[in-house]
Structure 1
Amino acid sequence: MYHAIAQEIIKSIMADEYDTKLPTEKDLMVRFDASRSTIRKAIDVVFRHGLLRRVQGSGNFIIKQPQASATVLNLSIGFDRSAMVEGGPLVSKVITFDKVKADEQLAKQGNIEVGDELHRVIRLRYLKDALYDLEESYFPKAVVPFLSAESVQHSIFAFLREAYDIYGSTTENYVHQVRLDAERAKLVGEPEGDKTMCLDGINYLANGSVFNFSRTFFVYPDLELYYHTENIDLQH
């Protein structure tokens, strides 16, 4: 339950519903009809997504993104960036929706076994009619038995939450520059061989199973990266 509450709080933050800080725990308990422990777990999730700054005795303050926030990719948000881009949501144009078996390259990319059956979704995503990225996503059928044609047009992760109660536990992200091959260059309308920012991501369940891995090529102008970390005191 706290995962769903966290998602609603994140959406409210991205929609500028709150000015400078979150409502009190008591107010959130009333809004979501939830216990204090559930609200605290939800707030912890939002904090780990890099959207809150805790001030002891004063509450949870909203971390404001730069004014040109549509160009900032928040890597801390993780599982469902399509719903978290300010100025969004992103609108998808599905290029490919089918099933494939993992070859050696996909198995290595997704930390899965060769031959694992996968749902494959390739789509272009737009922000206010401007091309934002090319996303190539894979979902192992052993964990995600079914994807609907409607779900891949919108937020796949929202579908996974509703259909399978999948929220994810950890994400591995690797950001690097790549040169566009002929096929991808044609899809995004850029010259073959041009460099673009690429994000390789793997999403895991709490039991360590991969439920999604993807490669996203960003073509939105002047995109910048943001990442939130929590400092931990280590005693020697």
Structure 2
Amino acid sequence: MYRAIAQDIIKSIIANDYETKLPTEKVLMARFNASRNTIRKAIDVVFRHGLLRRVQGSGNFIIKQPDESATVLNLSIGFDRAAMVEGGPLVSKIVTFDKIKADEKLAKQGNISVGDELYRVIRLRYLKDCLYDLEESYFPRAIVPFLSEESVQQSIFTFLRDAYGITGSTTENYVHQVRLTAERAQLVGLPEGDKTLCLDGINYLANGDVFNFSKTFFVYEDLELYYHTENIDLEN
């Protein structure tokens, strides 16, 4: 239940329903008809997504993007939700949707075995009619039993959560610059060899199984990165 409440709070933050801070725990308890413990667990989830700043004795304040900032890719919350802040959601154009078997390169990329059967989804995604990214995503069929062309048009993670109860436990992200191959350059309309920001991601279930891995090439103008961390006192 707390995860659903956290999602609702996140949507409200994205929609600017809260001006500066979250309502008190008492107000949220009444709003969601939930216990104090459930509300606190939900707030913890929102905090870990980099949307809140805790001030002892004052409450949970909303972390807002500066007005003068460029479009911010919030790796803590996921770039789908970050795009919503800027006028999304993202609109997808499917380039490739099929089933393949993992070769050595894909097996290494996704931390899976050679020969594992995968759903492959390659799509261009647009924000406010402008090309946002090229996404090459793979879903092991041993974990994800079925994807349809309709399901990959929108948020695939939302479909997996709603249809199969598949939610990620751990995500590994690696952000780096790469030069576009001829095929990728043609898809995004840029010269071959141009540098672009690339995010390599692997998503794990709680038991350690990979349910998704991907490469996303961002071409949206003036994109910046944001990542939220929580300081831990290692001496205690």
Output the TM-score relative to the length of structure 2: 0.95
* Structure 2 partner of 1:196: 196
Mapped partners of 1:68, 1:204: distance in 2: 36
Alpha-carbon offset, residue 22 of structure 1: 0.9
What is the match of residue 82 of structure 1?
80
Greater shift in the superposed pair: 2-11 or 218-227: 2-11
Deviates more, 1:210-219 or 1:84-93: 84-93
Give the number of equivalent residue pairs. 234
In the alignment, what sits opposite 1:19?
Answer: 19
Answering whether residue 194 of structure 2 is matched by residue 169 of structure 1, we say no
- Do 1:83 and 1:90's aligned partners in 2 also have CA atoms closer than 8 Å? no
Identical aligned pairs, as a percentage? 82
Q: For residue 234 of structure 1, what is the amino acid of its counterpart?
A: L
* Shift in alpha-carbon separation, 1:141–1:68, aligned structure 2, 3 A: farther
| Aligned residue in 2 for 1:130 | 130
Q: 5+ residue gaps in structure 1?
A: none
User: How far 1:44 sits from its partner (Å)?
Assistant: 0.8
Aligned-residue CA RMSD (Å):
1.4
Write the deviation string for residues 213-233 of structure 1: whole angstroms up to 9, x where unpaired: 110000001111001110001
Structure 1: how far apart are the matches of 2:199 and 2:141? 23
Aligned pairs for 1:69-108 within 5 A: 71-78=71-78, 81-85=79-83, 86=85, 87-108=87-108
SS at match of 1:228: coil
One-letter amino acid matched to 1:61: F
Mean alpha-carbon deviation: is it higher for 8-17 or for 185-194? Answer: 8-17
Alignment of 1:2 with 2:37, yes or no, is: no
CA contact (8 A) 2:91 2:125 kept: yes
Residue matched to 2:212: 212
Write the letter of the residue equivalent to 2:46.
V
- Who is 1:36 aligned against? 36
Q: Is the 8 A contact 1:179 1:192 kept in 2?
A: yes
Amino acid at match of 2:120: R
- 202-211 vs 190-199, greater mean Cα deviation: 202-211
The more displaced of 196-205 and 82-91 is: 82-91
Query: 1:8 is matched by which residue type in structure 2?
Result: D
Q: Which blocks of at least 5 consecutive residues in structure 2 are unaligned?
A: none
Q: 2:52: which partner in 1?
A: 52
Deviation at 1:69, TM superposition (A): 5.7
Counterpart secondary structure, 1:200? strand
Shift of 1:164: 1.4
Which residue in the other structure is 1:160 paired with?
Answer: 160
- Runs of 4+ off more than 4 Å: none
1:141 alignment partner in structure 2: 141
1:11/1:84 contact within 8 Å kept: no
SS at match of 2:199: strand
Q: Is contact 2:117–2:140 with CA below 8 Å preserved after alignment? A: yes
Task: Indicate the residue corresponding to 2:229 in structure 1.
Answer: 229
User: What secondary structure is seen at the aligned counterpart in 2 of 1:84?
Assistant: helix
Distance in 1 between the 2:22 and 2:161 partners? 24
Q: TM-score normalized by structure 1?
A: 0.95
Give the AA of the match of 1:16. N
**In the alignment, residue 82 of structure 1 is paired with which amino acid?**
D
AA partner of residue 119 (structure 2): H
